[in-house]
Amino acid sequence: MSDLNVAVAEEEVTTPKAVVMNQIPAADAGVRGESPLHHVELESLAKQGPRQGGIRFKENKLLGHLTLRCNPNNAELMASAANVLGVELPQTKLTAVEAGDVSVRWIAPDEWLILVPGEKAFEMETRFRDEMNGHHSLVNSSGGSTVYELSGENVVEMLKKCTPVDLHPKEFPVGKVVSTVFAKSSAVIRRKGDTEFELVVRRSFADYIWLWIQDASREFGLVVDA
């Protein structure tokens, strides 16, 4: 064996690490994070708009959005993920789990959408990179989506105008999650209560879906919460 081959054989082999960047600017950086609906001034609407109506709307803005993909049959990976999240990944299809301020949605047999407070996304992404050593994919898409919360006595009637999903409690119980068509766009819909829903929507369609919700809520009355 040549000296070159010996050197290569003896060289320590390390697994390359992905470059992880904190997407939240430092407090003194002079950069302000803005939600897709910042131009709507929802806080002003909440103060000045009606306080009675059959639909209530709130943007849960600037959350951390992480998409994890890995083999659910790999016990080591699943244990590592649970250690990072503080809760086991849901393996029953179309379900979600929560632990404190962390929530995880089943998207596909090997894919989960994780939502955390925006300021915790970098820390959690870093921990995933450090602790999960097997084959997996983790994508931080925090800037690409936002979350709408919809509730009220007429919320199901309103949502029927927006999505083909069967929203009857027998077919769509509390805790169920679906990725589906919404207002000719798409959304990940989770039922949080009998009359409480959560929508994860793409940033590029956020304003369009907000306008659609306004129109669909017209007959019931729309209340904006800050």
What is the tens place of the pLDDT at every residue in 67-122?
999 999 999 999 999 999 999 999 999 999 999 999 999 999 999 999 999 999 99
The pLDDT score that the predictor gives to residue 23 is 63
Lowest mean pLDDT among 32-36, 148-152, 175-179, 202-206: 32-36
The pLDDT score that the predictor gives to residue 9 is 45
CATH of the domain at 159: 3.30.1360.120
Range of the domain at 95: 38-224
The H-or-E segment that residue 150 falls in is strand 145-151
Total domains in the fold of the chain: 1
Contact (CB, 8 A) for 195 and 156: yes
pTM for the predicted model, two decimal places: 0.86
The pLDDT score that the predictor gives to residue 25 is 59
Q: Does residue 21 lie in a domain region? A: no
89 alpha-carbon distance from chain centroid: 14
Q: Does residue 29 lie in a domain region? A: no
Confidence of residue 27 (pLDDT cuts 50, 70, 90): low
Nearest-angstrom CA–CA distance, 121 and 57: 25
Residue with token string 């209530």: 56
CA atoms within 13 A on the CB side of 221: 9
pLDDT at 19 over 90: no
The pLDDT score that the predictor gives to residue 12 is 43
Tokens of residue 222, six digits: 């729309």
Q: Does residue 161 lie in a domain region? A: yes
The pLDDT score that the predictor gives to residue 18 is 59
User: Using one digit for the tens of pLDDT, what is the confidence trace for 115-163?
Assistant: 999 999 999 999 999 999 889 999 999 989 999 999 999 999 999 999 9
Which residues on adjacent β-strands are paired with residue 139? Answer: 67
User: Using one digit for the tens of pLDDT, what is the confidence trace for 37-47?
Assistant: 999 999 999 99
The pLDDT score that the predictor gives to residue 203 is 95
Q: Does residue 22 lie in a domain region? A: no
Q: Does residue 115 lie in a domain region? A: yes
Q: Does residue 190 lie in a domain region? A: yes
Lowest mean pLDDT among 1-15, 25-39, 173-187: 1-15
Cα dihedral 208/213/219/222 (nearest 10): -120
Nearest-angstrom CA–CA distance, 60 and 146: 7
Q: Could you tell me if residue 94 is left (phi over 0), alpha (psi between -120 and 50 degrees) or otherwise beta?
A: left
133 Cβ contact partners less than 8 Å away, ≥ 6 residues apart:
15, 76, 80
Q: Does residue 27 lie in a domain region? A: no
Q: Does residue 193 lie in a domain region? A: yes
Mean of the per-residue pLDDT values of the chain: 89
